[in-house]
Chain A
Amino acid sequence: MKKIFLIIAIAGVAGLSSCTKKQFAEDYPDPSKVSSTTIEKQYAGFLSANLDYVMYKYWNYFVVLQNTLLPWTQTVGMINSPGRYVPGAAAIDARWQNYYAFLAQYRELVRLYNTLSPDEQAAKRIYIITATIYFYDHSEKMVDLFGDIPWSEAGLLGTNQGDYVKSAAKYDAAADIYTKMLDDLKGFSDELNTLTVSAGTTTIMKTQDFINHGDVTKWKEYCNSLRLRMLTRVSGVSSFQGRVGSEIAAMLANPTSYPLVLTNDDNIMVTVTDPSTGVNNGTNTGAGADFHNGLIGWGGGDIAGKVMIDFMNNNADPRLRAMFEPGTTKAYIGLDPSLPNTAQTDLVSGGTLSRYNRSTLTQNLYVPGMLINAAEVNYFLAEYYLNAGNDALAKAAYENGINLSIDFYYWVRTISNDNTAGPLTPTSASEKNVYLASSGVSWAGATTTAEKLNRIAIQKWINSNVLQPVENWSEIRRLKLPALSFVSDNSGLASLPPNRWVLPSNEITYNSANYQAVAANDKLSTKIFWDVK
């Protein structure tokens, strides 16, 4: 009797346990994740990893830019509040964290690629080349913000299979990173001319490569234009000067092999096809739009700066009505950075100041994420020709750049979903010509090389405005042009805009051994190696 019950009990227990055995294996993996991926999917994953800093998103503008690069480039009116020249930790952390997450995705792509057979690697080489070009574009921005950063050994946690001690990354010198990128991009610019891409890969890339949709020519243009930008950036550094001259000359000598972004159709940018997709500027419309909200910040962050507005007014810039909206008096007025704080606050509250145009820019959900545009490339060429003593080509490039920039802003307005600012009066060739001949713009009106360089810089500055803030700040630091003046701040560590961002405390704290190597130079006053003027 007793035995029977025991047997029943034991059988019951055994029955219960055996039926759960399989369950343990089933319940281990997260049902919302996958355990493996492909080059193609990881490629798109990598490209999309930093979209928050390519598209015009709330966090980047509200937390990162409105208190740092935008006021320091005077592309917006700056209220003289205490501590305005010290970048906030939230800004630094956000940008840093996103870049290294993005970098880790790149490493993961490379790790996957390295597991392929040589044949497969050859077939998928295009993914690695194009991904690397995109990666270098954003690495350049990081170096321009911070200087020395962990780079060549960074992001290897996955590659090292979770060995975090081994994965603590050393810092690379900013100049070394530039050298490596320039070397590789030069190699790519040749390799892209010889690489064969299968029809199948082209079809897949049409979808997965949401930047250039598998168009190899556009990737060549991106690659060469990026080289031009980087070479120009280091053109003042003596150790780079040899390659700067020869490499730009080599590119210009053979435009078929080394095409550049020279027309607005060539512009390398992330297009918004539909705001409801994953590539967008947010989905909120009107005053709630991400870009608008982020730029406005605590209120008034979208107000124009006086220097830019005065320049555009004085020279009848056709972009004025496209880029800005007038204040309540129907005039275009910028905020004077030299006024005291309360006077500025009253002016901003008063409503007379001009703001960035909501319909063209801030409430336009279709503004493309700008990577490199033709106007910008033309300004770099103008500078190159100017320094090479070829005034005619310099002038042509300069004026091309202006026309392209004007066309771009009028075009952006045509793709807008917003009409808050009312209809935009179209521009015309004659209006553009008047502008090109105006006293502040005219190439002929600039009598010295320095003044010509200043005009190029002003145009680059207006063209970049709030859309390309990192490039804008870098160029202003490199050229010290346009010459902007700032009211000094007596309340904090920096009395004027800094020369770089300091490193985030995440590095000081968690990568402290490697940080020691750069700690002495981790100051707001340290200049990036190309900042030699």
Chain B
Amino acid sequence: MKRKSIRLLLCMFLGMWSTFAFSQAKRTITGYVKDNTGNPIPGVTIKVHGTKSGVASDGTGKFTIQAAPSDELQLSSIGFQSKQIQVGDQSSLNIVLENSNSSLEGVVVTALGVKQQKRSLGYATTTVSSDEITKTAPTNFASALYGKVPGMKIATAPGGSTSGVSIQLRGLNSITGRTQPLIVMDGVPIHDGDFNNSNYWSDQRLRGNGLVDLNPDDIESITVLKGASAAALYGSEATNGVILITTKSGKGKKGFTVDFSSTYFQDRVAYLPDFQNVRGSGFNPGYGIYATDADGFAHHTLNGTDYRTLATAGLSFGPVFDGKPILSWDGKVRPYSAQKDNWAALFQHANNTVNNLALTSISDNSNTRFSVTQQHYEGTSLGSKNDKIVLNLNTTYKFGTKFRINIIANDIWQKVHNRPYSDDRLINNFTGMMGAFDNGAWYQDKYKTSLGYKYVTGSNPSLTPDENLTFGPYRSDLLDYMWNVKTSNLDEYNNRLIASTTAYWDIVKNVQLRGRIATDWTSDKSESKNASSIPLVYGYSGSYGIGTNNYSILYGDLLLTYSKRLTDDLELKVLGGYTADKESSYTTNVSTNGGLTTENRFDLSSSANPQYNSSSNRSFLTKDAFIGTINGSYKNYLFLEGTVRRDRTSTMNPSQNSFVYPSVNSSFVLSDVVKMPAFINSTKLRASWGIVGNYPGAYLANVAYSLGNLGNLGSGSSTLTSTVATGTYGNDLIRPEKKHEIEFGLVAGLFNNRLNLDVAYYNAKIVDQILPLQLAQSTGAGNILTNIGTLQNNGVDLSINGTPVATKNFTWETGVNFNFNHNKILKLTNGSNELIKADYDGNAAVLKSTVGQPIGDFYAHPIKTDSKGQPIVNDYGDGTLDYQIDATQLVKYGNVQPKAIGGFYNRFEYKSFGLEVYTDFRFGGYVMPTGLNWLTGRGLTKESLTGMDKAHGGLSYYLDSKGYGVQTDAAAGPNGEKVYDDGMLLKGNLPDGTPNTHVESQAIYYWYVYNWGGPQYSNSQYFKYIVKNSYWKVREISLSYNLPEKIASKIKASRLQVSVFGRNLFYLYRTIKNMDAEQLTTGLSWDSQVSNAGTNFTTRTFGASIRATF
């Protein structure tokens, strides 16, 4: 309904435009382009301003183009400065293009929205333009930045448009805390928030962070400030760098234009594990793990007929598929064959559309762009969808010559229906892992009874006892999963307004005052309706809940700028300012208590208990800062800048909440001073130093009591309780974290600027790291907020791009960037030389950081060896054996941080066709996708087939009277024992020092090796779970075609482009085969990106779009 009306609106706009565009007469213009030595320049692109279609100069520099007298021609070519020419009455033009220092020319937006010349910057920045962000229609801007910014590591959580994205610049700046950069949109710090999807039990739905709300279609450019000096003016919020987003303003357009784009794409679950397709659930019957016949099947009598069925087994080492009839757990008789593609019914194909319409009007006094974007996204999680309408207004109005006001407003209206449900139980729990003879479709069939209640197992009470699931290896967690995704509904309505008003006043010549007031305001409403799962006669079930959240940032700043040319050579600029920021958050939640008194009647009045569950939360934060900068420039080739910021925050003890952050940077355009060889067009050197910082979050430093009320327990008055917060202990004396960073850089343009190089070396030291240090519970708290130590990051950002081929019809642009980061912990103050971040599965593996080493070493227990250095084979005494894990030792098996990350892209243009291929890579860095290994341990992956029979390398053996396997070549054992051929021999010595000669089933081997738990629980070899995660992935491919002007003009368009694209397409190289390298992303922090493979599967995307300008 809603979508329909929007489409209607779009059509009306389009119709309106086709009637009165372009009435002015055009004629043919001929021109010649030459360089300043008089040589013709081929391959120059000539366009009429405001359109995208153009022509190119030929080998003699000649071109012809259709243009009206009022049109402006834009000429651009690699290695030359762009030029604009008014057509006027001329019909023949002679144009000279100047050589350009493209890597040094132009302006960039820097801290606080101040525009600076590229050449003056003493620190590294990277700017990404709108084209590169929207080419393949990513659902958020950050996911478009893979491999495009040197030193930026992106990790998108799987799930879809509502799942969060983690960004990390130049390595890890915090041992356990937040590493997300500050995001500033049009000068306003926006609310980004945190997300963590790793704990299934605390929240089954996948959450996101604030950046995913921002509409990529409205973004003009993104500038990334990586180093401390670049970000110094953001002080205590800039430890992790800053991302500056500039939204589209209509700049560079003329008059009145309309842009329209429409995109469709589909996501499909991809990169599933490599499942086996040869056997069902069960186990080698010789071991008696499950009660089965000698052939591995169990039996069940249904309606008087005895059928063979599979054992009620969680392990899939059962009988090989034979195609003969079998009764499956859902009560149907089928051929016993692999259920190919049995995962398909667990997910949906996600269909997505994005439509954007932008109106721009430029006049002498005003400049306005208004856009409306409609987005419909779906998740691959069944029933999950997300609809958004984004309105964006950016207008500047000049009042006379000295005063102008810029108003920017983004209104994001969003509805999320059933945000993706975590797949956790399917990957991380044995009772959720589906075997090869099982099918998601059967679960779709059986998750509820014919009366609509939740499935019932065994003899548990049911109104439909005949439908109870009573036999066979059904996976209860999958039934629950299906029940939950199908009958638990969560609707979230979210309205977010990011708006700012900025006034500029040129008070007198050289003095400008800028004031800004802005807000990022969010209103969320959520409603949950969970269906009644049991009939009323057995009790109340189901629930209804409603919640609201209001979050607002009120931001203001005032900047006074004074610039003065002191002499012909020396220019000075001084800036002073103040910023203040007030954040508040109010949350309330109410839900039914004890189930619904009327089945599926979703309202609080259905609550079984009259006292509803309710909670509320308030949070306030105040911060401000004084800012000063001084810039000097000498002869426009030597630049020096100094900045200082004094911060205050309410999150720290009021007696010590104020801190100062200084920085200096300098830039020197060497090529303007020293004569360079001819092939070097420009060279610039940079140097900078700065300090930025980080505060604890609101209230984390408090040492306080929570106050409770147990109610009236019989005495007539309420029992009051107060308890100190024992989960976390605060710290009133916490100091701010500070990052000191120096950076040196070189920028060079070579071969007529066809090859550009930018390299930066940085060295950052973060002192007084703030983190919630995990403690033994026996100290009295789970963790404590503390300043823990010093961390260092040093490394190199390198980017090289160039245009190897530029001819009239064909251009090839390519570029590569790398970041090599070395991270090291210099000091810890916890009385130990190590810091433990996570303990997995009962001390099976530990993630810790050690002084002198990078953050994040995976440790696990090795196999115990005897005095001869032989692995010790543990004998359980029942015929099963495994390698003895050494409980006393923890050995390092890898570090989580990659050695290098980067991207490599190629863009080809042939006539009206464009092809872009973006790839990105990561080398090194270890992860532990535990759940995938459990799939192997359960006999579900192809890997677990090794040794299953002779063809797979299995040994032949029979089981002796004590259950031990004895290797044999005979057809039967000496006493007629059955011979199995799925044997494996563990090489090593038994505890008594003799070599092991007992053969055992490969099923025992896989089960024991890839089991759950530390040495207290099993001899699982967790060190095998720790694997290197290197990859080179083709992230985006897009193929576009600009329709000839003749065709475009038929719908009155000046430009019409169609494109097809794909995202997250395939790997050129990867070390982990059973998943997408990014599937492990469950949250913002680095440690929530290394081990959990069970939130959602990642997807592969294909789509098409059309873009038109009128």
Query: How many angstroms between the C-alpha atoms of A346 and B784 in the bound complex?
Result: 50
- Contact across chains for A108 and B724 when beta carbons are under 8 A apart: yes
- Contact across chains for A25 and B594 when beta carbons are under 8 A apart: no
- Contact across chains for A273 and B722 when beta carbons are under 8 A apart: no
Closest residue of A by beta carbon distance from B300: A346
Question: B578: which A residues are within 8 A, CB to CB?
Answer: 13, 16-17
Q: Which of A207, A279, A353, A511 has the most CB of B within 10 A?
A: A207
Given contacts A89-B1017, A491-B289, A25 and B713 within 8 Å (CB-CB): no
Question: B652: which A residues are within 8 A, CB to CB?
Answer: 28
Closest residue of B by beta carbon distance from A29: B702
B84 at the interface (CB under 8 A from A): no
Query: How many angstroms between the C-alpha atoms of A105 and B705 in the bound complex?
Result: 11
- Contact across chains for A208 and B720 when beta carbons are under 8 A apart: yes
Query: How many angstroms between the C-alpha atoms of A108 and B843 in the bound complex?
Result: 30
- Contact across chains for B780 and A154 when beta carbons are under 8 A apart: yes
B839 at the interface (CB under 8 A from A): yes
Taking the nearest CB of chain B, how far is it from the CB of A9, in angstroms?
Answer: 5
Query: How many angstroms between the C-alpha atoms of A509 and B699 in the bound complex?
Result: 28
In-complex Cβ contact of B560 among A9, A38, A524 (8 A): A9
Question: B511: which A residues are within 8 A, CB to CB?
Answer: 2, 5-6
B140 at the interface (CB under 8 A from A): no
- Contact across chains for A164 and B726 when beta carbons are under 8 A apart: no
A320 at the interface (CB under 8 A from B): no
B968 at the interface (CB under 8 A from A): no
A422 at the interface (CB under 8 A from B): no
Closest residue of A by beta carbon distance from B292: A342
- Contact across chains for A167 and B779 when beta carbons are under 8 A apart: yes
- Contact across chains for B710 and A44 when beta carbons are under 8 A apart: yes
A113 at the interface (CB under 8 A from B): no
- Contact across chains for A208 and B719 when beta carbons are under 8 A apart: yes
In-complex Cβ contact of A169 among B594, B776, B878 (8 A): B776
Given contacts A274-B711, A349-B471, A157 and B775 within 8 Å (CB-CB): yes
Question: A213: which B residues are within 8 A, CB to CB?
Answer: 714-715
Given contacts A155-B779, A505-B1014, A5 and B513 within 8 Å (CB-CB): yes
- Contact across chains for A28 and B702 when beta carbons are under 8 A apart: yes
- Contact across chains for B609 and A276 when beta carbons are under 8 A apart: yes
Q: Which of A38, A276, A506 has the most CB of B within 10 A?
A: A506
Interface residues of A in 24-53 (CB under 8 A from B): 24-38, 40-42, 44-46, 48-49
Question: B1013: which A residues are within 8 A, CB to CB?
Answer: 89
Question: A284: which B residues are within 8 A, CB to CB?
Answer: 539-540, 594-595, 608
- Contact across chains for B703 and A162 when beta carbons are under 8 A apart: yes
Question: A276: which B residues are within 8 A, CB to CB?
Answer: 609-611, 711
- Contact across chains for B778 and A154 when beta carbons are under 8 A apart: yes
- Contact across chains for A299 and B457 when beta carbons are under 8 A apart: yes
Given contacts A89-B1013, A276-B711, A283-B609, A45 and B722 within 8 Å (CB-CB): yes
- Contact across chains for B650 and A100 when beta carbons are under 8 A apart: no
Taking the nearest CB of chain A, how far is it from the CB of B584, in angstroms?
Answer: 9
Taking the nearest CB of chain B, how far is it from the CB of A2, in angstroms?
Answer: 5
A147 at the interface (CB under 8 A from B): no
- Contact across chains for B841 and A89 when beta carbons are under 8 A apart: yes
Query: How many angstroms between the C-alpha atoms of A96 and B608 in the bound complex?
Result: 34
Taking the nearest CB of chain B, how far is it from the CB of A532, in angstroms?
Answer: 25
Q: Please choose the segment from A70-78, A187-195, A285-293, A370-378 that sits at the chain B interface, where 4 or more of its residues have CB less than 8 A away.
A: A285-293
Closest residue of A by beta carbon distance from B654: A25
Closest residue of A by beta carbon distance from B725: A33
List 15 A–B pairs whose Cβ atoms lie within 8 Å, in order of A's numbering: A6-B511, A29-B702, A40-B720, A41-B721, A41-B722, A42-B723, A48-B723, A96-B777, A213-B715, A273-B712, A273-B713, A286-B539, A341-B290, A490-B877, A505-B839
A508 at the interface (CB under 8 A from B): yes
B50 at the interface (CB under 8 A from A): no
Interface residues of A (CB under 8 A from B): 1-2, 5-6, 9, 12-13, 16-17, 20, 23-38, 40-42, 44-46, 48-49, 82, 86, 88-89, 96-97, 100-101, 103-105, 107-108, 149-150, 154-158, 162, 164-165, 167-169, 206-208, 210, 213, 271, 273-279, 283-289, 296, 298-300, 328, 340-343, 345-346, 348-353, 363, 490-493, 495, 502, 504-511, 519, 522, 524
Given contacts A2-B508, A100-B780, A288-B594, A164 and B714 within 8 Å (CB-CB): no
Taking the nearest CB of chain B, how far is it from the CB of A30, in angstroms?
Answer: 4
Taking the nearest CB of chain A, how far is it from the CB of B801, in angstroms?
Answer: 43
Sample of 19 more A-B contacts, CB < 8 Å, known A164-B779, A271-B714, A289-B539: A1-B508, A16-B624, A29-B704, A31-B618, A32-B617, A33-B705, A100-B777, A104-B781, A108-B724, A155-B780, A162-B786, A210-B713, A276-B609, A276-B610, A285-B595, A340-B291, A491-B880, A510-B836, A519-B888
- Contact across chains for B710 and A299 when beta carbons are under 8 A apart: no
- Contact across chains for B538 and A287 when beta carbons are under 8 A apart: yes
Query: How many angstroms between the C-alpha atoms of A343 and B471 in the bound complex?
Result: 11
Query: How many angstroms between the C-alpha atoms of A441 and B652 in the bound complex?
Result: 68
Question: B539: which A residues are within 8 A, CB to CB?
Answer: 284-289, 363
Report the 8 A-B pairs with minimum CB-CB distance, sorted nearest first.
A286-B539, A351-B459, A277-B711, A278-B710, A27-B650, A104-B780, A511-B776, A342-B291
- Contact across chains for B622 and A506 when beta carbons are under 8 A apart: no
Query: How many angstroms between the C-alpha atoms of A491 and B1017 in the bound complex?
Result: 11
Question: A103: which B residues are within 8 A, CB to CB?
Answer: 778, 780
Question: B784: which A residues are within 8 A, CB to CB?
Answer: 157, 162, 164
Closest residue of A by beta carbon distance from B287: A490
Taking the nearest CB of chain A, how far is it from the CB of B507, in angstroms?
Answer: 5
Taking the nearest CB of chain B, how far is it from the CB of A238, in angstroms?
Answer: 30
Closest residue of B by beta carbon distance from A88: B1017
Query: How many angstroms between the C-alpha atoms of A352 and B459 in the bound complex?
Result: 8
- Contact across chains for A278 and B711 when beta carbons are under 8 A apart: yes
Interface residues of B in 598-649 (CB under 8 A from A): 608-611, 617-622, 624, 626, 648-649
Query: How many angstroms between the C-alpha atoms of A296 and B312 in the bound complex?
Result: 19
Taking the nearest CB of chain A, how far is it from the CB of B91, in angstroms?
Answer: 52
- Contact across chains for A288 and B595 when beta carbons are under 8 A apart: yes
Taking the nearest CB of chain A, how far is it from the CB of B904, in angstroms?
Answer: 41
Closest residue of A by beta carbon distance from B1015: A493
Closest residue of A by beta carbon distance from B829: A165
Given contacts A28-B652, A505-B839, A328 and B777 within 8 Å (CB-CB): no
Given contacts A17-B624, A285-B594, A505-B839, A24 and B709 within 8 Å (CB-CB): no
- Contact across chains for B775 and A34 when beta carbons are under 8 A apart: no
Question: B476: which A residues are within 8 A, CB to CB?
Answer: 298-299
Taking the nearest CB of chain B, how far is it from the CB of A12, in angstroms?
Answer: 6
Query: How many angstroms between the C-alpha atoms of A490 and B842 in the bound complex?
Result: 21
Given contacts A276-B611, A350-B459, A34 and B704 within 8 Å (CB-CB): yes
In-complex Cβ contact of A30 among B699, B721, B786, B1014 (8 A): B699
Interface residues of B in 688-741 (CB under 8 A from A): 698-699, 701-727, 729-731
In-complex Cβ contact of B513 among A9, A162, A490, A522 (8 A): A9
Query: How many angstroms between the C-alpha atoms of A96 and B776 in the bound complex?
Result: 11
Question: A353: which B residues are within 8 A, CB to CB?
Answer: 459
Question: A506: which B residues are within 8 A, CB to CB?
Answer: 776-777, 839
- Contact across chains for A24 and B711 when beta carbons are under 8 A apart: no
Interface residues of B in 718-768 (CB under 8 A from A): 718-727, 729-731
B212 at the interface (CB under 8 A from A): no
- Contact across chains for A86 and B1017 when beta carbons are under 8 A apart: yes
In-complex Cβ contact of A35 among B705, B709, B713, B726 (8 A): B705
- Contact across chains for B653 and A28 when beta carbons are under 8 A apart: yes
B790 at the interface (CB under 8 A from A): no
In-complex Cβ contact of B842 among A28, A32, A44, A505 (8 A): A505
B51 at the interface (CB under 8 A from A): no
Closest residue of B by beta carbon distance from A520: B888
Query: How many angstroms between the C-alpha atoms of A278 and B773 in the bound complex?
Result: 31
Given contacts A105-B723, A207-B719, A300 and B458 within 8 Å (CB-CB): yes
B657 at the interface (CB under 8 A from A): yes
Closest residue of A by beta carbon distance from B538: A287
Question: B312: which A residues are within 8 A, CB to CB?
Answer: 341-342, 345
Interface residues of B in 147-161 (CB under 8 A from A): none
Given contacts A27-B622, A29-B699, A107-B780, A509 and B846 within 8 Å (CB-CB): yes
- Contact across chains for A164 and B704 when beta carbons are under 8 A apart: no
